[in-house]
Amino acid sequence: MSDIKAIAHPNFALIKYWGKSDVTNNLPDMSSISITIDTLFSTAKVSFDSSLKKDLWVLNDIEQESLGQIKPTMNYLKSFKLVKDFCVIESTNNFPTAAGLASSASGVASIVIAINELFNLNLSEQELINAAILGSGSAPRSLYPGFVYLNKKKYSCKTVLHANTWPLKIIICQTSSDKKLVSSRDGMRISKLTSPHYESWVNNQDNDIRKALKAIKIKDFDLLGEVSEGNCKKMHRVMETSKPPLFYRNTTSHLCIQKIEEMRANGINLFYTIDAGPQVKIICKAQHADQVISEMKSIPNIQDIIEVNIGQGARLTNEG
Ligand code: DP6
């Protein structure tokens, strides 16, 4: 059989997931809302290889010692069918891995779609979500296009607004390409155990979810910005009050935030979000994108500025 290839894009959470209710099954402690982007992507090329004694995962041309984070996903997918041959999974990212740009979400989502096809599983949407969540709690969101809601109740996931209905721009300000020092997985465990703000963070999440869903439904940019930035700040407060403290933002991220506040004071509609890494993602109306980019370029030490759109969900591809 020939190779099967799938592609998936990262997603950036506006209302964030930080903490698990069940570590074994990798279940998020809270609902989340994200936007799937375009331009940045992960691919997964999968094929059977009868010479192999176990499944092999090659990430960005480097053979991995084990299946690592994707092992539970593979075990789940294999539980649907007896598959005798082992397979090789070749993953690539066209952007820095493990640097706060959601490479695990797009990576896992692309693998789920490719393996579903290779094994001929015909899984339901919920089964694809279950498979993805086992690999990364944010990965189900990359299966879907546009604005995506991952509901903690039953872990359902769906698009709440499609990309073309509200064409916002996302400006990614890359302040470093270093791998994060503490993985999201470890960071979440530390925060849940030690941050005095963890409980209120979880308890307030549904309020933010409700506000964001409303803002998306009525396309209220200011309301979405207010609730998203507030949620991002709360997550970083939980991170930074953990023991040891988790500082994912760097000096350049803070300079970016200052510049964003300055632009906002000057009447530009924009807001930002930052994940477990120092990259600053700005969401703005399309007509302001050029100005935002030129202002952000003035910040010292910015490595790269990438303008992207809201994008499509994970899918099979013939490209490459
Ligand atoms: C800060 O989904 O990478 O980006 O489930 O342990 O693989 P695991 O974590 P992951 O965490 C994402 C955390 C975040 C916020 C978010 O995307 O919701």
What does pTM read for this prediction? 0.96
Mutate which of 30, 144, 184, 189 for ligand 1? The one with the most ligand atoms within 8 Å of its CB, which is: 184
Ligand 1 centre to CA of 89 (Å) is 22
Residue 281's Cβ-side half-sphere holds a number of Cα atoms within 13 Å equal to 28
Give the pLDDT confidence of 177-221 residue by residue, as tens digits.
888 889 999 999 999 999 999 999 999 999 999 999 999 999 999
pLDDT band for position 99 (50/70/90)? Answer: low
**Which residue lies with its CA nearest to atom 7 of ligand 1?**
136
Across the chain, mean pLDDT equals: 95
pLDDT digits (tens, 9 = 90+) for 226-273: 999 999 999 999 999 999 999 999 999 999 999 999 999 999 999 999
Residue 101's pLDDT band (boundaries 50, 70, 90)? confident
- Measure 250 CA to ligand 1 centroid, in angstroms: 19
Residue 320 has pLDDT above 90, yes or no: no
Backbone angles phi, psi at 46, to 5 degrees: -125, 145
